[in-house]
Chains A and B, each alone.
Chain A
Amino acid sequence: MDHEIRAAGLAGNFCAVVLELDGVPDPERLAQHCREFARRFPRSVARLTRRGRQFAWRDEPGTELPFHHHRIAEPGSAPRHREQLLLDIVSRPAPALEAAPVELHLVEEIGTSALLLRWFHPLCDAKGAELILHHLFQPQENTAPQQQAAVEALLDKWSLWEKAQLAWKAIGNIRRLDKQASILPVTSQPSAPALGLKLVTLDQDQSARVMSQAISHTGMTGISLYFIGCLMRALEHTGSSADGDAYCVPYAMNLRKSKALYPLFGNQVSFLFAQAGRQLVRSREALFAHLREQNREAIRQRRDYAMLPLMQLGSWLTLDKHGRILRDSPHGRERSSAWFSYTGDMYPEPTQIDGCAVTGLYQLSPVTLPPALCLLASRCAGKVILSYNFIQGCFSDDWLEALTQAMTTELLGQATGP
């Protein structure tokens, strides 16, 4: 997807986790944390290297984990907007084979700060990035156990025959999905693509109501599905393309054991697609029942595992071809109506960083064009935070405002109508 994202005109698959702090930690101590982390986890300072059509990580002993200190409001200078600086940091281009896979940035304002961990997606996933943040500030753990990535472990466990069966199942599932053309948000063609960000933070009462609605509508096993269903309805309400049969939203399945602090790196996720026709999306109750049953059936049929051998096979293709297969239906149409991720509660929950309390947490991610829109949902300190990431110029401010309002209304269960 890094290749695909660069083709859309963005810097690459550089993502970020951001912690908002109620103070400013000592930059020297943060730099020391980075040095210790790089010593304990050499992979964090490796570089991507190409071996034919495959990629691998090349250790770079002695390389530092970059730490940067930014100040927004300096005496005598014009104040800069924090969100724009965070976007600038995430969007700073770097060639894939030279990019530092992990960087730590402290963005200091007067009395508060934001800590941004920028990570290069091939190195790890969003949960891996959260674990990196945990281990960065846990110096008492001196040794890091070697652990195989969950996806590698599964692929090693399966015989060739089992992998072939699963891959065939995945192909069948994708063919079924592609019978319905995906509805896409209506976009303009941007002249100079850049990543945009709109954050919506729900207060604790609102957040508790959202989680209660989620359990009520999609059950204990479907929190992500509740957010996806609400997003589908918000897109339908705000206005999407007239052509297309169904909304289709991919979502990740974390294959790590819950509460595991390792492994950090490597591929630990598979993914599924939530799909629902326009008519179904217009009925809230019917939609959630459908998504719940669709997910349950997918897990029962092992469709989440089925994607893994297919992804392994895909790694032997050219990047162009692999990208097209991941994204497009056989008719050349983008499969995803929007990108989505719900990372839930960060574990272990970071309550403080070097004496500064954590007051918020959210994620940033680039996205391909189409769909040009990505929603990342997190929970921290009892608050749900919605991070809307989009390609600037593709949507008007009014449309984005309408979408976020519609999404919040749906999440709170306050939408009128069916």
Chain B
Amino acid sequence: MMQELKSFIFEELVFIEDPETFSSTDSLLEAGLDSMGIMRLVLFVEERFGVSLPDNELAPENMENLQRLEAWIKRHQQAN
């Protein structure tokens, strides 16, 4: 899952020189994930992983890095 998220983010949403060096704990927000990017990422996640991510949980603590993002998605996958 993490690799798919990373591929989507750096192919579609954010430009960085070398995505291979981006770790699971590096900040996505500091890398440049902006409000539109977050919106598109959420829609990708919902379609790809079959979860519904509540609007009120769209917060930095769930989107700060790939590790937190994956954990957030998996919580909702288990809930579903």
Residues of A within 8 A of B (CB): 219-224, 253-254, 257-261, 292, 295-296, 299-300, 344, 347
Q: Does B49 contact A (CB under 8 A)?
A: no
A219-B40 contact given A224-B35, A259-B16, A347-B32, CB 8 Å threshold: no
Other than A220-B35, A221-B38, A347-B32, give 4 A-B pairs with Cβ distance below 8 A.
Answer: A220-B63, A253-B36, A259-B32, A299-B43
The answer to whether A223 and B55 have CB atoms under 8 Å apart is no
A residues in contact with B60, CB < 8 Å: 220
Instruction: Give the complex CA separation of A219 and B34 in angstroms.
Output: 12
> Nearest Cβ distance between residue B14 and chain A, in whole angstroms?
5
The answer to whether B35 and A223 have CB atoms under 8 Å apart is yes
List the 4 closest pairs (A to B, CB-CB), nearest first: A259-B32, A258-B32, A260-B15, A257-B15
A344-B58 contact given A257-B12, A258-B14, A259-B15, CB 8 Å threshold: no
Which chain B residue shows the least CB distance to A258? B32
The answer to whether B36 and A254 have CB atoms under 8 Å apart is yes
The answer to whether A221 and B39 have CB atoms under 8 Å apart is yes
Which chain B residue shows the least CB distance to A262? B15
A258-B58 contact given A220-B63, A299-B39, CB 8 Å threshold: no
Instruction: Give the complex CA separation of A129 and B40 in angstroms.
Output: 25
B residues in contact with A292, CB < 8 Å: 55
A258-B34 contact given A219-B58, A296-B55, CB 8 Å threshold: yes
A residues in contact with B55, CB < 8 Å: 219, 292, 296
> Nearest Cβ distance between residue B41 and chain A, in whole angstroms?
10
Instruction: Give the complex CA separation of A258 and B31 in angstroms.
Output: 9
Q: How large is the interface on B (under 10, 10 to 19, 20 to 34, 35 or more residues)?
A: 20 to 34
The answer to whether B38 and A220 have CB atoms under 8 Å apart is yes
Q: Does B13 contact A (CB under 8 A)?
A: yes
Of the candidates B13, B35, B42, which one forms a contact with A257 in the assembled complex, judged by CB atoms under 8 Å apart?
Answer: B13
Instruction: Give the complex CA separation of A304 and B34 in angstroms.
Output: 17
A296-B39 contact given A219-B55, A259-B14, CB 8 Å threshold: yes
Interface digits, B12-37 against A, CB 8 Å rule (1 contact, 0 not)?
11111000000000000001111111
> Nearest Cβ distance between residue A288 and chain B, in whole angstroms?
12
Instruction: Give the complex CA separation of A347 and B30 in angstroms.
Output: 12
> Nearest Cβ distance between residue B69 and chain A, in whole angstroms?
13
A residues in contact with B37, CB < 8 Å: 258
Q: Does B59 contact A (CB under 8 A)?
A: yes
Which chain A residue shows the least CB distance to B40? A299
Which chain A residue shows the least CB distance to B41? A221
| Residues of chain B in range 36-80 having any CB-CB distance to chain A below 8 Å | 36-40, 42-43, 55, 58-60, 63
Which chain B residue shows the least CB distance to A293? B55
Of the candidates A220, A224, A260, A261, which one forms a contact with B59 in the assembled complex, judged by CB atoms under 8 Å apart?
Answer: A220
The answer to whether A221 and B36 have CB atoms under 8 Å apart is yes
Instruction: Give the complex CA separation of A304 and B31 in angstroms.
Output: 24
Instruction: Give the complex CA separation of A219 and B60 in angstroms.
Output: 10
Instruction: Give the complex CA separation of A300 and B45 in angstroms.
Output: 12
> Nearest Cβ distance between residue A16 and chain B, in whole angstroms?
24
Of the candidates B33, B39, B63, which one forms a contact with A258 in the assembled complex, judged by CB atoms under 8 Å apart?
Answer: B33
Which chain A residue shows the least CB distance to B10? A257
B residues in contact with A223, CB < 8 Å: 35
A residues in contact with B14, CB < 8 Å: 257-259
Which chain B residue shows the least CB distance to A298? B39
Which chain B residue shows the least CB distance to A304? B36
Among A253, A254, A259, A296, the most chain B Cβ lie within 10 Å of the Cβ of A259
A residues in contact with B43, CB < 8 Å: 299-300
Instruction: Give the complex CA separation of A22 and B14 in angstroms.
Output: 33
Instruction: Give the complex CA separation of A344 and B37 in angstroms.
Output: 14
The answer to whether B40 and A344 have CB atoms under 8 Å apart is no
Which chain B residue shows the least CB distance to A300? B43
> Nearest Cβ distance between residue A231 and chain B, in whole angstroms?
17
Instruction: Give the complex CA separation of A198 and B26 in angstroms.
Output: 41
Instruction: Give the complex CA separation of A255 and B32 in angstroms.
Output: 14
Among B31, B35, B36, B37, the most chain A Cβ lie within 10 Å of the Cβ of B35
Query: Can you list 21 contacts pairing A with B, beta carbon distance less than 8 Å?
Result: A219-B58, A220-B35, A220-B59, A221-B35, A221-B36, A221-B42, A221-B58, A222-B35, A223-B35, A224-B35, A253-B36, A257-B14, A258-B14, A258-B32, A258-B34, A258-B37, A259-B16, A260-B15, A299-B39, A299-B40, A344-B34
Which chain B residue shows the least CB distance to A259? B32
